[in-house]
Amino acid sequence: MERRVFGVETEFGITHQGGEHRGLPPDELARYIFRPVLKWGRSSNVFIPNASRLYLDVGSHPEYATAECDDLLDLIASDRAGELIMHDLAQRAEAAMAEDGFDGSVYLLKNNVDSQGNSYGSHENYMIPRTTHFRRLSTILLPFLVTRQILVGAGRLVPATDETPAHYAFSQRADHMWEGISSATTRSRPIINTRDEPHADAALHRRLHVIVGDSNMSETTSLLRYGATDLVLRMVESGVPVGDFELENPIGAIRHISHDISGTATVKVRNGPEMTAVDIQSGLLDRARRFVRENGAHHDQVEQIFELWERTLQAVASGDHSSIERDIDWAIKKRLLTDVAERGGLRQGHPKLEQLDMAYHDVHPRRGVFNVLAAHGRVSTQLEPERIERAIVDPPSTTRAALRGRFLSTARALGAEHTVDWVHHKLVDRPLDALMLKDPLLAEDPRLDTLLAKLGDRVETLREQNLAQRREQAVPLALSERYTLASPREFAEPPLI
Amino acid sequence: MSTQPQKRPHGGDEDGGPAAEATPVSGSAQAQKRAGELDSMLDEIDSVLESNAEEFVKGFVQKGGE
């Protein structure tokens, strides 16, 4: 596959704290957060002008699903835009609540576990060809995903239990996985979910749904996460030999690896030896490098991804994490917790450290601890802030998302009732003209222009708003109107002769 | 596709003024400066966190998702 469609769905944790009284419970808080969304789209499940989806999930989790991206940096930009969109909604909720007499602060956390161990996810989607052999896919991909946490885990301070003392683990999500592959989600959280909803031509494509990942704050960690996974998928698809790392017990292994920050935990490979996560990842990295040597790099970040991949494995293997503590979420957070613990003489598992573990994921630009680190130049970045801000309003330009964005923004500007989802585009008054776009890689389609032309010449009268104009609109930036109707006077005046 | 080189200031982002360049900084002075920077950042983090850590942690409870 030359181009692949990627997407990531992030569920956020929410909490209301710091007021004189106890904070609002999550369901009431979520209603405040989604108030502007409901007003804008008469639903708490909407596609927004940047073609992403914004909705309220089970358990009062605000969720943001990026639009289809075919470029890793577009994907990371769209995901980061999701954080800013959530922050905007949180600020508005806080103001609205204050008006109603509820003081305190609204927190939106891009993490994966609350203080009682309830978990919520960060789901990756990768388009793969329908012809991909599923047994081969799971044989190669499962051991990769089980061990990937040592590269891209978000890190977690695990509270003490009766059996184990408080300790630092690679992953937030590892303890919440119950199966290798299945079609369930909440009931038995599998690493790979086989629910077959391609949102595309089912004869050609599958949507691989990976729910084992931690939500990442670091753009660099994100690049490694999606980039390495894409490379492994390429090898799966090409049919090259990728070694045999199939694990005897993937679920036992994922937990075992997560809780051993020394990286020395071994897991049993089926019909093979005991191996560490570093052994398995090194084997996959070697093969990926060989694959790229033979087939060429398919995008500009491949070498950077290899370098990060190797450097992180070396750091884990040596136990000296200083070379990755600007780049890899679990190592950035671990450094911070160590600094704070040393300065304050705090024992492992001190509430202050648990609070920091959560606050690291706070999306607030000035309060979120990751963002404070970034402001002090202590973490690496991949994107200019301007690109992230553009991603709040602009759909990715190289996929179907561009068409969805144009359709919904045009229909809104012209006051035409419409419905839209990943595939369908429908004008309510013209049900027979509903348009299905089944190729997520196609960013142009004359049928969409034909459909919009049915709304009349008025399409010609639309004026696209620039970013400054959109910021001036009263609604959250992400919900601002992309087009306005030109004032009639612009047409009434004859050209000067 | 625009790629941005990773920023790696590695303690090198001194205030940049000519004065800073004129006076060579000894190793221990630099370490002291770094420690000072870390301290002030940790103070900043302290100041933005809710003051009652235990209450904050306990108060953050939600049902599971997906």
Over residues A366-405, the pLDDT tens digits come to 999 999 999 999 999 999 999 999 999 999 999 999 999 9
**CA B5-A371-A95 angle, 5° bins:** 135
Mean pLDDT of B35-55: 94
Question: Which of B3, B13, B38 is closest, CB to CB, to A377?
Answer: B13
Contact A378 B1 (CB under 8 A): no
Q: How far is A252 from chain B (nearest CA, A)?
A: 21
Best probe of the A interface among B51, B55, B57, B62, by most A CBs < 10 A, is B62
Residue B10: the pLDDT is 41
Q: What percent of chain A has pLDDT over 70?
A: 96
CB pairs under 8 A, 24+ apart, for A319-322? A319/A262, A319/A263
Contact B56 A119 (CB under 8 A): no
Contact B4 A384 (CB under 8 A): yes
Question: Which of A57, A107, A358 is closest, CB to CB, to B65?
Answer: A57
B47: chain A residues, CB-CB within 8 Å = none
Contact A220 B6 (CB under 8 A): yes
Residue A496: the pLDDT is 58
Inform me whether the pLDDT recorded for B23 exceeds 60.
no
Q: How many CB atoms lie within 10 A of CB A218?
A: 27
Comparing A54 with A455, which gets the higher pLDDT?
A: A54
Residues 6+ apart with CB under 8 A from A210: A123, A124, A125, A126, A145, A191, A192, A193, A229
Q: How far is A63 from chain B (nearest CA, A)?
A: 9
Mean pLDDT of A189-216: 89
Terminal alpha carbon distance of chain B: 33
Residue A180: the pLDDT is 79
Residue B28: the pLDDT is 86
CB–CB of A486/A461 below 8 Å?
yes
Per-residue pLDDT tens digits for A264-306: 999 999 989 999 999 999 999 999 999 999 999 999 999 999 9
Decide the pairing of beta strands A179-182 and A190-193: parallel
A211: chain B residues, CB-CB within 8 Å = 66
Least confident of A334-343, A456-465, A470-479, B8-17: B8-17
Best probe of the B interface among A3, A10, A17, by most B CBs < 10 A, is A17
Best probe of the B interface among A350, A354, A361, A383, by most B CBs < 10 A, is A354
Residue B64: the pLDDT is 56
CA distance linking residue A15 with residue A425, whole number of Å: 36
Q: How many CB atoms lie within 10 A of CB A256?
A: 16
Residue A497: the pLDDT is 54
Per-residue pLDDT tens digits for A394-415: 999 999 999 999 999 999 999 9
Residue A59: the pLDDT is 82
Q: What percent of chain A has pLDDT over 90?
A: 85
Contact A120 B64 (CB under 8 A): yes
B7: chain A residues, CB-CB within 8 Å = 377, 380-381
**3-state secondary structure at position A413:** helix
Per-residue pLDDT tens digits for A313-350: 999 999 999 999 999 999 999 999 999 999 999 998 89
Q: How far is B36 from chain A (nearest CA, A)?
A: 12
Per-residue pLDDT tens digits for A2-54: 899 999 999 999 999 988 888 999 999 999 999 999 999 999 999 999 999 99
Q: Which residue of B has its CA nearest to A397?
A: B1
Contact B1 A71 (CB under 8 A): yes
Contact B57 A57 (CB under 8 A): no
Inform me whether the pLDDT recorded for B7 exceeds 60.
no
Question: Which of B4, B13, B65 is closest, CB to CB, to A11?
Answer: B65
- If pLDDT is split at 50, 70 and 90, which confidence band does A176 have? confident
B9: chain A residues, CB-CB within 8 Å = 377
Question: Which of A118, A123, A301 is closest, CB to CB, to B64?
Answer: A118
CA distance linking residue A254 with residue A212, whole number of Å: 10
Q: How far is A286 from chain B (nearest CA, A)?
A: 24
Residue A184: the pLDDT is 67
Mean pLDDT of A140-155: 97
3-state helix, strand, coil in chain A (%, to 5): 45, 15, 40
Residue A273: the pLDDT is 93
Contact A369 B45 (CB under 8 A): yes
β-sheet bridge partners, residue A276: A266
Q: How far is B58 from chain A (nearest CA, A)?
A: 6
ipTM value of the model?
0.90
The kind and range of the H/E element at A16 are strand A13-17
CB–CB of A66/A8 below 8 Å?
yes
Comparing A495 with B20, which gets the higher pLDDT?
A: A495
- If pLDDT is split at 50, 70 and 90, which confidence band does A189 have? confident
What DSSP designation does A56 have?
A: E
Q: Residue A277: left (phi > 0), alpha (psi -120 to 50), or beta?
A: alpha
Q: How many CB atoms lie within 10 A of CB A282?
A: 18
Contact B63 A383 (CB under 8 A): no
A57 is catalytic: yes
Catalytic residue among A57, A260, A439, A445: A57
- If pLDDT is split at 50, 70 and 90, which confidence band does B21 have? very low
Least confident of A144-148, A185-189, B59-63: A185-189
Mean pLDDT of the residues in chain A: 94
Inform me whether the pLDDT recorded for B63 exceeds 80.
no
CA distance linking residue A383 with residue A381, whole number of Å: 6
**CA A243-A245-A224 angle, 5° bins:** 85
Residue B1: the pLDDT is 42
- If pLDDT is split at 50, 70 and 90, which confidence band does A124 have? very high
Contact A358 B56 (CB under 8 A): yes
**Residue A297 identity:** A
CB–CB of A110/A20 below 8 Å?
no
B14: chain A residues, CB-CB within 8 Å = none
Residues 6+ apart with CB under 8 A from A241: A287
Question: Which of B7, B42, B54 is closest, CB to CB, to A381?
Answer: B7
A369: chain B residues, CB-CB within 8 Å = 45, 48-49
Best probe of the B interface among A113, A116, A173, by most B CBs < 10 A, is A116
Inform me whether the pLDDT recorded for B17 exceeds 90.
no
Residue A364: the pLDDT is 98
Per CB distance under 8 Å, which residues of B are interface residues toward A? 1-4, 6-9, 13, 37-39, 41-42, 44-45, 48-50, 53-66
Residue A134: the pLDDT is 87
